[in-house]
Amino acid sequence: MKEHLLQIGEFPPFVQAMIDERYQCHHRSDIERDEGLRIRVRGIITRSNYEVPADLVRTLPHLGIIATCGVGYDGIPVELARDLGIRVTNTPDVLNSAVAELAIGMMLSLLRRLPAADRYVRAGRWGAVQWPLGESLAGKRVGMVGLGRIGKEIAARLEGFDVRLAYHGRTDQGLRYRFQPDILALANDSDILVVTAPGGPATRHLIGREVLRALGPDAYLVNIARGSLVDEDSLLEALAGGIIAGAALDVYENEPRIDQRFLELENVLLLPHIGSATHQTRHAMAILALNNLEHFFRDGSVLTPV
Ligand code: 8YV
């Protein structure tokens, strides 16, 4: 007999097939129609870019585990889950490379204006209009805002690009990269500021008007973490007003209905939250999430608790 799960969010077809092979999945609309289903739900499977509402969790009397595909859990009521004895699991590490690779691609796309160069060729402008020079990544000062698992993977890859690395975070980790306890000082001393810190109330709008002004008119912002870390009104003002040179965003305060003002700007690269979006990575994340569920239903244990 398959365990019943509440599924929040859409999964790639191959992942959905893996889930359906093992579990009987219901969506929120199903359990709102049928109270009998509500009491049968013992687990939630979700993705880290979806929210698991606290009021929903409270209505599932036999819920024992919330398993997310993703490393972030800022959309999950973790404290409530803890109070109710509900395990919460994520999928750390298996997505580090994919996210780090994308961050490097975002930086190169910004500095060499790769999307605009592609459009220039496709528009038949090559030969008619000279393509403007870009910026080298080599020699740049890169400031990492947060140096956790993913930040360290980005930094390790950047070492091959002959950049100067520094980082801001809660503590000095004693690494070979310079620690900067003051985020304004880090921004002031960076050509590229890369945001990799976790989302949540503690980091909301960490990147605001002051940090952007400290970053300066020849510098760039890259956000591969969570939209909540950046005050988007300040960012939009900085991009439109030349306060910073440009930005590359994979995450936004409101996904997928992002602030339409971004679409009017040429100096921002807009990606649709694809940090972990590779076949290999999503497969590994699904396996880990399913292994968490399997362990829990077998003996109450989990592999990667948050
Ligand atoms: C997930 C994310 O990787 O991992 C995270 O925290 O930001 C998300 O991109 C994605 O939703 C796959 O489940």
**In 3D, which of 227, 4, 55 has the Cα closest to residue 236?**
227
Residues 156, 255 share a domain: yes
pLDDT in the model for residue 284: 97
For 44, phi and psi rounded to 5 degrees? -115, 130
Residues 239, 227 share a domain: yes
pLDDT in the model for residue 19: 97
- Asked whether residue 306 is assigned to any structural domain, the reply reads no
CA angle 93, 50, 17 (to 5 degrees): 75
Residues 243, 166 share a domain: yes
CA of 41 to the centre of ligand 1 (A): 23
Residues 220, 259 share a domain: yes
Nearest Cα residue to atom 4 of ligand 1: 70
- Asked whether residue 173 is assigned to any structural domain, the reply reads yes
CA of 37 to the centre of ligand 1 (A): 28
Query: What residue has token string 């969790």?
Result: 57
Q: pLDDT tens, position by position, for the chain (306 residues)?
A: 899 999 999 999 999 999 999 999 999 999 999 989 999 999 999 999 999 999 999 999 999 999 999 999 999 999 999 999 999 999 999 999 999 999 999 999 999 999 999 999 999 999 999 999 999 999 999 999 999 999 999 999 999 999 999 999 999 999 999 999 999 999 999 999 999 999 999 999 999 999 999 999 999 999 999 999 999 999 999 999 999 999 999 999 999 999 999 999 999 999 999 999 999 999 999 999 999 999 999 999 999 999
Bridge pairing between strands 178-179 and 192-195 = unpaired
Residues 77, 206 share a domain: no
Q: Is the CB of 94 under 6 A from ligand 1?
A: no
User: First-to-last CA distance in the chain?
Assistant: 28
Q: For a pocket test of ligand 1, which of 71, 229, 282 has the largest count of ligand atoms closer than 8 A to its C-beta?
A: 71
Instruction: Give CA–CA dist 145/159, Å, rounded.
Output: 17
* Number of domains making up the chain: 2
For helices 96-112 and 279-299, the axis angle rounded to 10 degrees is: 150
Length of the chain: 306
For helices 13-22 and 279-299, the axis angle rounded to 10 degrees is: 10
**Measured torsion, CA atoms of residues 189, 191, 195, 196, in degrees rounded to the nearest 10:** -90
Q: Is the CB of 227 under 6 A from ligand 1?
A: no
Residues 261, 120 share a domain: yes
pLDDT in the model for residue 191: 98
CA of 287 to the centre of ligand 1 (A): 14
Residues 110, 248 share a domain: yes
Q: Which positions are catalytic?
A: 226, 255, 273
For 246, phi and psi rounded to 5 degrees? 180, 175
Residues 78, 38 share a domain: yes
What would the two tokens of residue 79 be?
A: 């404290």
Q: Is the CB of 224 under 6 A from ligand 1?
A: no
- Asked whether residue 82 is assigned to any structural domain, the reply reads yes
**Which atom of ligand 1 is found nearest the CA of 251?**
7
- Asked whether residue 109 is assigned to any structural domain, the reply reads yes
Q: Is the CB of 71 under 6 A from ligand 1?
A: yes
- Asked whether residue 304 is assigned to any structural domain, the reply reads no
Contact (Cβ atoms closer than 8 angstroms) between residue 169 and residue 192: no
Contact (Cβ atoms closer than 8 angstroms) between residue 166 and residue 188: no
- Asked whether residue 229 is assigned to any structural domain, the reply reads yes
What would the two tokens of residue 301 be?
A: 């244990």
- Asked whether residue 144 is assigned to any structural domain, the reply reads yes
- Asked whether residue 162 is assigned to any structural domain, the reply reads yes
pLDDT in the model for residue 129: 96
Q: Is the CB of 72 under 6 A from ligand 1?
A: yes
CA of 276 to the centre of ligand 1 (A): 6
CB contact set of 244 (below 8 Å; sequence gap of 6+): 212, 215, 216, 217, 219, 220, 221, 238
CA of 51 to the centre of ligand 1 (A): 12
Residues 240, 164 share a domain: yes
Residues 240, 287 share a domain: no
pLDDT in the model for residue 56: 97
Which domain, by its residues, includes 260? Answer: 96-270
Residues 112, 227 share a domain: yes
CATH code: domain of residue 181 = 3.40.50.720
Residues 220, 172 share a domain: yes
CB contact set of 210 (below 8 Å; sequence gap of 6+): 184
**Which atom of ligand 1 is found nearest the CA of 276?**
3
pTM of the entire predicted model: 0.96
Instruction: Give CA–CA dist 197/152, Å, rounded.
Output: 11
Nearest Cα residue to atom 3 of ligand 1: 70
